[in-house]
Amino acid sequence: MTQTTLPPVEKTQPVSSPRGTISDRSRAERKLGWLLAGPAFLVMLLVTAYPILQAVYDSLFSYRLTDPENRAFNGLSNYWVVLTDPLWWQSVGVTVLITVVTVAVELVLGFALALVMVKALSSIRPVVRAAILIPYAVITVVSAFAWQFAFNIQTGFVNSWFAWLPGIASTTDWFGGTGTSLLVICLAEIWKTTPFISLLLLAGLAQVPEVLQEAAKVDGATRWQRLWKVTIPNMKAAIMVALLFRTLDAFRVFDSIYIMTAGANGTESVSFLAYRQTIARLEIGLGSAVSVLLFLAVVLIAFLFIKGFKVDLAQARGER
């Protein structure tokens, strides 16, 4: 059985609109769109482009905030210092590990929750959706404090509740080692943001044509075959958006690490490294270089996702 998707619908051009040109109505709608979105676009450009350009500029200087008089241009030296430091690559490894583990688990759990929300009885469906989305409504810092409290060796209840499991005892210090600390951080991230992915996948499930599901049933396809050959191929755009948004968010993880471990025991992420250099040590030049590298990594991830999935979002929305 091959993958089944609806063929793209070829739209005919209006009679009054020659091929390659747009009608007066389309031109007016496009102009109205720019007028409505223009102010917001300019504000967004100011609040995003200016900090990025300022960080790029500062990264080219040897600049410590406590010693502004000795500020000096040193070109790309800050980037060389960062890229040749093992601490940078350790932070990259921790960040990639957290990103891969959390996004993979959240994708599976989020898809299962989306299926539950779709298949739930109509009478309890609003309650189910609200219950599933509650963790996402909790502020990330509050969530991090709650998970730290639960796993703390002195105040937590996890050790006493799960002491029957192998490897867990009343003396288990979850924040005393790298592996256990990262485990708790990943669990907190998964609990907090799985509802976000499930919400995006739920929108994708609603776009799967029911006629294809019925046709597959008539052809004798099993549930598993309908899932892989009908449902998932028709959700490709929604899956790409969910994975892209969540991957970019996970790669910038900061709050949970700051609250739970403060970067101790080798749990420092790239975002936390940028914070520590810029805010804690006041090394504006080095901190800016780390921030620029983080920005480039995020842009690279977005580029790879868009090119890898080969999804035309305009076509998915039916605009062409």
Per residue of the chain (320 residues), give pLDDT as tens. 565 665 555 555 555 555 556 777 888 888 888 888 888 888 988 888 888 999 999 999 988 888 888 888 888 999 999 999 999 999 999 999 999 999 999 999 999 888 888 776 666 777 777 788 888 888 889 999 999 999 988 888 888 898 888 888 888 888 888 999 999 999 999 999 998 898 888 888 888 888 888 888 888 888 888 888 888 888 888 888 889 999 998 998 999 999 999 888 889 999 999 999 998 888 899 999 999 999 999 999 989 988 887 776 655 555 55
Amino acid at 87: L
Q: Which residues have CB under 8 Å from 297's CB, separation 6+?
A: 251, 270
Tokens of 63: 């600049």
Torsional sign, CA 230, 234, 235, 236: positive
Q: Which residues have CB under 8 Å from 47's CB, separation 6+?
A: none
* Alpha helices, H only, the chain: 24-58, 77-83, 86-119, 125-137, 140-151, 158-161, 178-206, 210-218, 223-226, 232-234, 236-251, 255-260, 270-275, 284-309, 313-316
Model pLDDT, residue 217: 83
Quote the CA–CA distance of 311 and 134 in Å, as a whole number: 31
Amino acid at 269: S
Quote the CA–CA distance of 17 and 21 in Å, as a whole number: 6
The predicted model scores a pTM of 0.81
Q: Which residues have CB under 8 Å from 18's CB, separation 6+?
A: none
Pairing mode, strands 72-73 and 61-62 = antiparallel
